Amino acid sequence: MTGSMKTGRIKLVSLLLILALTALSAVSCGADGKSVAYGDIPPYAGEPYAVINGNKPFFTREEITDRAYESYSRLDALGRCGVAMACVGRELMPTEERESLSSVNPTGLVYKGRSNNNKYSFIDGIYVYNRCHLIGFQLAGENANEENLITGTRYFNIEGMLPFENLIADFVRESGKHVMLRVTPYYLDYDYVARGVLMEGYSVEDRGEEICFCVFVYNVQPGVIIDYFTGENKLNPESGHTEEEVTSALTYVLNFDSMKYHLPDCYHAENMKEEYRINYDGSVADFKFIHRGYAPCGICKPDEYR
């Protein structure tokens, strides 16, 4: 085992030890041996994830393979993502830089004509939401795949999912072996935003010796209250922060030079020159009357979410 692999092993052991200590109420295996009810998942208690089923994934023998592949569920009737599964190997990993994701707006990012992606100065990255891959880009190279992107908080994305994605990526790159990964979003009733995801990982060739985990990652953001049905969010008054640290998302951002309008977190809106930028916050009907000469951006496609 190389020095870098030993370091990765130490990081994994440390991570799993922390998980075990912070998830004493982990649930048992579901009756079908492959799932767990949301009601059996421990409530969020200050850690970004909790151990489930004794940290043992629910893969069946038939599901485990060393043939690299990726699979995504069709969007449901509400446009929400379902289970995503992959056998991650070097042959599946990207060889090019990630492209813009702004052409996809997962459910809950926009609601009734308004973006929900408010800015909080105390959040790393400022925006409360990210377009979060179920199967991380570094693992499968998927860009703007609507079946692989959900609305997730910055905390959920960076503190919750990313450490496990990094563990898998480092192991696969260094060993050339494969890792089974399944990510299952959990919604309640007709919520547009997932309450979290179940992440299961298992290294194939060594039968889980290096990587073996089953965790629930909470889609929360410390200091912020989230309405999971709509995706709307606001400052938690008990957070210790002030309203001055919050900026509500705009309805549109217009480019006076190109005569196009964008959603606020569109790649082109974020990189627009200030002298051409016009922020619009108001009703969509008024916008259509006042700014008739503007065309919708072909990347973020704002009219599809209004």
Does the pLDDT value for residue 239 go beyond 70? yes
Residues of the chain with CATH 3.40.570.10: 3-101+130-224
Give the pLDDT score at 34. Answer: 54
Give the pLDDT score at 300. Answer: 85
Chain-centre distance for alpha carbon 82: 13
> Percentage of the chain surpassing pLDDT 90?
71
Does the pLDDT value for residue 246 go beyond 80? yes
pTM listed for this prediction: 0.81
Burial annotation 243-282 (CB, 10 A radius, 16+ → b, else e): eeebeebbbbbbbeeeebbbbbbbbbbeebeeeeeeebee
Chain-centre distance for alpha carbon 155: 9
Does the pLDDT value for residue 18 go beyond 50? no
Distances (CA, A) of 221 to 49, 124, 240, 255, 272: 12, 11, 14, 31, 28
Give the pLDDT score at 299. Answer: 86
Chain-centre distance for alpha carbon 210: 25
- What CATH number does the domain located at 3-101+130-224 have? 3.40.570.10
Q: How far apart are alpha carbons 288 and 278 in whole angstroms? A: 15
Q: What is the mean pLDDT of residues 292-302?
A: 87
Give the pLDDT score at 289. Answer: 73
Residues of the chain with CATH 3.40.10: 250-305
pLDDT tens per residue, range 155-192: 999 999 999 999 999 999 999 999 999 999 999 999 99
Does the pLDDT value for residue 233 go beyond 80? yes
Q: What is the mean pLDDT of residues 230-258?
A: 93
pLDDT band at 247; cut points 50, 70, 90: very high
What's the length of the chain?
Answer: 306
Give the pLDDT score at 119. Answer: 94
Of the candidates 223, 101, 73, the one whose C-alpha atom is nearest the C-alpha of residue 154 is: 223
pLDDT band at 301; cut points 50, 70, 90: confident
Give the pLDDT score at 20. Answer: 39
Does the pLDDT value for residue 78 go beyond 50? yes
Greater model confidence, 127 or 35: 127
Q: How far apart are alpha carbons 140 and 156 in whole angstroms? A: 20
Does the pLDDT value for residue 17 go beyond 60? no
Of the candidates 214, 25, 14, 250, the one whose C-alpha atom is nearest the C-alpha of residue 117 is: 250
Q: How far apart are alpha carbons 18 and 8 in whole angstroms? A: 15
- What CATH number does the domain located at 250-305 have? 3.40.10
1-15, 62-76, 271-285 — which is least confidently predicted? 1-15
pLDDT band at 271; cut points 50, 70, 90: confident
Q: What is the mean pLDDT of residues 251-259?
A: 91
Across all residues in the chain, what is the average pLDDT? 88
Q: What is the mean pLDDT of residues 125-137?
A: 96
Q: What is the mean pLDDT of residues 6-34?
A: 39
Greater model confidence, 12 or 75: 75
pLDDT band at 4; cut points 50, 70, 90: very low
Give the pLDDT score at 305. Answer: 57
Give the pLDDT score at 220. Answer: 98
Chain-centre distance for alpha carbon 130: 6
Q: Are 86 and 140 in contact (CB under 8 A)?
A: yes
11-20, 24-33, 183-192, 210-219 — which is least confidently predicted? 24-33
Give the pLDDT score at 28. Answer: 28
